[in-house]
Amino acid sequence: MDRRKLSAIVAYLSRSVSAAALMIWGVFNIAALVIQYIRRTGDDGNWVASAGMCGFFGVLPFAIGTWLLYRTLASSNQQKNSKSESAT
Protein backbone atom coordinates (compact mmCIF):
# COMPACT_ATOMS: atom_id res chain seq x y z
CA MET A 1 0.00 0.00 0.00
CA ASP A 2 1.52 3.27 -1.02
CA ARG A 3 1.37 6.59 0.76
CA ARG A 4 -1.38 7.98 -1.48
CA LYS A 5 -3.82 5.12 -0.80
CA LEU A 6 -3.14 5.29 2.92
CA SER A 7 -3.74 9.03 2.88
CA ALA A 8 -7.06 8.52 1.08
CA ILE A 9 -8.16 5.90 3.62
CA VAL A 10 -7.26 8.14 6.57
CA ALA A 11 -9.08 11.10 4.99
CA TYR A 12 -12.19 8.98 4.36
CA LEU A 13 -12.24 7.62 7.91
CA SER A 14 -11.63 11.01 9.51
CA ARG A 15 -14.44 12.63 7.52
CA SER A 16 -16.82 9.78 8.33
CA VAL A 17 -16.03 9.86 12.05
CA SER A 18 -16.32 13.67 12.14
CA ALA A 19 -19.70 13.52 10.39
CA ALA A 20 -20.97 10.82 12.74
CA ALA A 21 -19.78 12.80 15.78
CA LEU A 22 -21.57 15.94 14.57
CA MET A 23 -24.77 13.99 13.95
CA ILE A 24 -24.65 12.32 17.37
CA TRP A 25 -23.90 15.66 19.04
CA GLY A 26 -26.92 17.21 17.30
CA VAL A 27 -29.24 14.41 18.41
CA PHE A 28 -28.02 14.56 22.01
CA ASN A 29 -28.41 18.34 22.10
CA ILE A 30 -31.97 18.16 20.78
CA ALA A 31 -32.85 15.49 23.34
CA ALA A 32 -31.24 17.46 26.18
CA LEU A 33 -33.02 20.68 25.23
CA VAL A 34 -36.39 18.93 24.93
CA ILE A 35 -35.96 17.18 28.28
CA GLN A 36 -34.85 20.43 29.91
CA TYR A 37 -37.90 22.24 28.52
CA ILE A 38 -40.29 19.48 29.64
CA ARG A 39 -38.92 19.47 33.20
CA ARG A 40 -39.53 23.18 33.72
CA THR A 41 -42.27 23.97 36.18
CA GLY A 42 -44.83 26.66 35.71
CA ASP A 43 -45.09 29.06 32.84
CA ASP A 44 -41.45 30.14 32.63
CA GLY A 45 -40.79 28.46 29.27
CA ASN A 46 -39.71 30.58 26.34
CA TRP A 47 -40.59 28.81 23.09
CA VAL A 48 -38.67 31.23 20.89
CA ALA A 49 -35.41 30.82 22.80
CA SER A 50 -35.87 27.05 23.07
CA ALA A 51 -36.58 26.66 19.36
CA GLY A 52 -33.62 28.87 18.47
CA MET A 53 -31.24 26.94 20.70
CA CYS A 54 -32.59 23.64 19.42
CA GLY A 55 -32.05 24.77 15.85
CA PHE A 56 -28.58 26.17 16.45
CA PHE A 57 -27.18 23.48 18.76
CA GLY A 58 -29.14 20.49 17.44
CA VAL A 59 -30.35 20.78 13.88
CA LEU A 60 -27.39 22.72 12.49
CA PRO A 61 -24.69 20.21 13.62
CA PHE A 62 -26.87 17.33 12.41
CA ALA A 63 -27.34 18.98 9.02
CA ILE A 64 -23.62 19.72 8.67
CA GLY A 65 -22.77 16.13 9.63
CA THR A 66 -25.29 14.77 7.14
CA TRP A 67 -23.92 16.99 4.37
CA LEU A 68 -20.34 16.00 5.19
CA LEU A 69 -21.19 12.30 5.22
CA TYR A 70 -23.15 12.58 1.97
CA ARG A 71 -20.28 14.40 0.28
CA THR A 72 -17.76 11.83 1.54
CA LEU A 73 -19.83 8.88 0.35
CA ALA A 74 -20.60 10.54 -2.99
CA SER A 75 -16.94 11.22 -3.71
CA SER A 76 -16.06 7.66 -2.69
CA ASN A 77 -18.76 6.27 -4.98
CA GLN A 78 -17.65 8.52 -7.84
CA GLN A 79 -14.04 7.32 -7.50
CA LYS A 80 -15.23 3.72 -7.41
CA ASN A 81 -17.32 4.22 -10.56
CA SER A 82 -14.48 5.91 -12.43
CA LYS A 83 -12.14 3.03 -11.57
CA SER A 84 -14.66 0.43 -12.76
CA GLU A 85 -15.26 2.32 -16.02
CA SER A 86 -11.54 2.59 -16.73
CA ALA A 87 -11.10 -1.15 -16.09
CA THR A 88 -13.67 -2.11 -18.74
pLDDT at 44: 66
Angstrom distance (rounded) from CA 74 to CA 37: 38
pLDDT at 45: 65
Give residue-wise pLDDT tens across range 47-87: 777 788 888 989 999 999 999 999 988 887 777 777 776 76
Alpha helix ranges (H) inside 39-56 = 47-54
Residue 55 lies in a domain: yes
CA 43, chain centre distance (Å): 34
pLDDT at 50: 77
Q: Picking from 5-9, 34-38, 54-58, 67-71, which range would have the lowest pLDDT averaged per residue?
A: 34-38
Task: Work out the mean pLDDT of the chain and round it to a whole number.
Answer: 85
Q: How many distinct structural domains can be found in the chain?
A: 1
Percent of the chain exceeding pLDDT 90 equals 36
Query: 24 is in which domain, residue-wise?
Result: 18-78
Residue 8 lies in a domain: no
Residue 34 lies in a domain: yes
Residue 64 lies in a domain: yes
pLDDT at 61: 93
